[in-house]
């Protein structure tokens, strides 16, 4: 668990990763981002900048519930290309300023009330993974520092554990003692680069340190982080998988890079439905939701293309679940009324469009 003195490190990484993304996005905003199927660098930059501003708003107002994204000031990428870079960098600065002012004041987070400094770590790693998305899209090497990438793995696993507190998630991730060992092999990590994950009937547990497991996944911290967040396949040449591959496959299928706040009625209505290739929530002119609340594109990518608060997708097995979702750390608003509406799939043999029943 990071200490208060770590804030400066997270602030520096937050600013550096955001600035790196701004430089890449400044070259060609229409460039596709393969790690986020359906997105371009424009959407990626908007997602990151808006997410920073959203988190800063939560901290600055000492919010006890997620803030609606429509209430976040200046939450859109500016029209003027000359403002794109400054807008992104200012977004990171807003997080730094808000966390510095709030310190240990409790605020809302994905994992319950936490000191405001929690958001420095979350937004730093959010920016790092999305910088990697941009670097991969531009054909550049991913150059995350090993210590920072290892902390990213640790933070990601802590979010998975917190999410497994939901009974539905516990059923998906739980087991009867199956274990996974993740090992960042970079020199100099001093024992901070190993984790044992155990699937229990109640969900999952994570312990730091070396241990024998049913499957071991080894590689440089940055590559390990990108595999666990499904930016790279487990077959990446820099990563070694020893033991029961099926356990790793199950883990990756059930730990997409998003955080779920379940909406029981809505989620239950579609749990286990087949969605072969594409699922997308309707827009306001069709089904009463804003275009910015569109859902997920499923397909051959390593993760669903999610930018909204309604859809949680698992592209590997073709199933889709709907919930009130906080996507990739961006934390869109809760939509309780949505959870009350049954849904159906149109033309399920080809693709589905999830809609409210009238």
pLDDT band at residue 69 under the 50/70/90 scheme: confident
Taking CA atoms, 169 is separated from 114, 124, 255, in Å, by 22, 26, 9
Residues sharing a CB contact under 8 Å with residue 87, sequence separation 6 or more, in sequence order: 49, 74, 77, 78
pLDDT for 328 equals: 33
Closest CA to 341 of 326, 353, 319, 358: 358
pLDDT at 16 over 90: yes
Element (H, E) at 63: none
176, burial (CB in 10 Å: exposed 0-12, middle 13-18, buried 19+):
exposed
Instruction: Report d(CA 118, CA 95) in Å as an integer.
Output: 11
pLDDT range class, residue 4, cuts 50, 70, 90: low
User: Which residue is listed with tokens 């994950």?
Assistant: 197
Is the pLDDT score of 76 beyond 80?
yes
Q: What local confidence, expressed as pLDDT, does residue 2 receive?
A: 56
The pLDDT confidence band at residue 5, using thresholds 50, 70 and 90, is: low
Asked whether the CA dihedral 268, 271, 276, 279 is positive or negative, the reply is positive
Residue ranges of alpha helices (H) inside the chain are 7-25, 41-60, 84-102, 118-137, 146-163, 167-173, 221-228, 245-253, 264-270, 284-287
Q: Using a pLDDT cut of 90, give the percent of the chain over it.
A: 55
Q: Are 45 and 156 in contact (CB under 8 A)?
A: no
**Per-residue pLDDT reduced to its tens digit, 242-301:** 999 999 999 998 887 543 333 323 333 233 322 222 233 332 222 222 223 333 332 223
Mean predicted confidence (pLDDT) in 62-67: 92
**What's the confidence (pLDDT) of residue 3?**
57
- In this structure, what is the dihedral angle of CA atoms 21, 111, 251, 145, given to the nearest 10 degrees? 40
**In this model, does residue 23 exceed pLDDT 50?**
yes
Q: What are phi and psi of 269, to 5 degrees?
A: -65, -25
Q: Are 251 and 241 in contact (CB under 8 A)?
A: no
Label residue 334 by pLDDT band (50, 70, 90).
very low
pLDDT of residue 144: 94
Q: What is the pTM of this model?
A: 0.74
d(CA 118, CA 130): 19
Give the torsion sign (CA, 96, 123, 44, 147).
Answer: positive
Structural domains of the chain, ranges and CATH numbers in brackets = 4-143 (1.20.120.450), 165-253 (3.30.1050.10), 259-356 (no CATH)
Whether 165 shows a pLDDT value over 90: the answer reads: no
> Does 91 have pLDDT greater than 90?
yes
Give the pLDDT score at 357. Answer: 26
């Amino acid at each position: 668990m990071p200490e208060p003195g770590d804030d400066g490190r997270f602030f520096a990484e937050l600013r550096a990763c955001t600035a790196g993304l701004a430089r890449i996005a400044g070259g060609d905003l229409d460039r596709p981002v393969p790690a986020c199927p359906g997105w371009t660098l424009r959407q990626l930059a908007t997602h990151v900048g808006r997410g920073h501003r959203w988190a800063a708003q939560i901290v600055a107002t000492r919010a006890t519930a997620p803030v609606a994204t429509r209430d976040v000031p200046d939450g859109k990428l500016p029209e003027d290309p000359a403002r794109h870079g400054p807008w992104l960098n200012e977004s990171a600065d807003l997080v730094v300023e808000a966390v510095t002012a709030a310190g240990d004041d409790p605020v809302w987070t994905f994992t319950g009330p936490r000191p405001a400094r929690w958001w420095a770590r979350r937004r730093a790693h959010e920016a790092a993974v999305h910088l990697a998305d941009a670097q991969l899209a531009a054909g550049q090497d991913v150059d995350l520092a090993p210590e920072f990438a290892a902390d990213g793995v640790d933070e990601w696993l802590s979010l998975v554990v917190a999410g497994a507190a939901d009974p539905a998630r516990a059923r998906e991730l739980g087991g009867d003692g199956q274990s996974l060992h993740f090992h960042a092999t970079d020199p100099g990590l001093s024992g901070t680069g190993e984790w044992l994950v155990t699937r229990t009937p109640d969900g999952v547990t994570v312990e730091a340190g070396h241990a024998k497991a049913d499957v071991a996944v080894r590689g440089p911290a940055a590559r390990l982080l990108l595999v666990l967040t499904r930016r790279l396949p487990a077959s990446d040449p820099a990563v070694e998988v020893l033991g029961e591959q099926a356990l790793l496959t199950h883990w990756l299928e059930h730990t997409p890079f998003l955080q779920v706040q379940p909406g029981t009625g809505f989620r239950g209505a579609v749990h286990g439905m087949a969605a072969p290739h594409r699922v997308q929530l309707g827009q306001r002119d069709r089904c009463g939701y804003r275009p910015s609340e569109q859902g997920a594109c499923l397909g051959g990518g390593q993760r669903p293309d999610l930018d909204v608060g309604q859809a949680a997708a698992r592209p590997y097995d073709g199933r889709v679940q709907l919930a009130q979702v906080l996507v990739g750390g961006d934390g869109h608003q809760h939509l309780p009324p949505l959870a009350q509406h049954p849904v159906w799939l149109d033309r399920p043999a080809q693709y589905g469009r999830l809609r409210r029943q009238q």
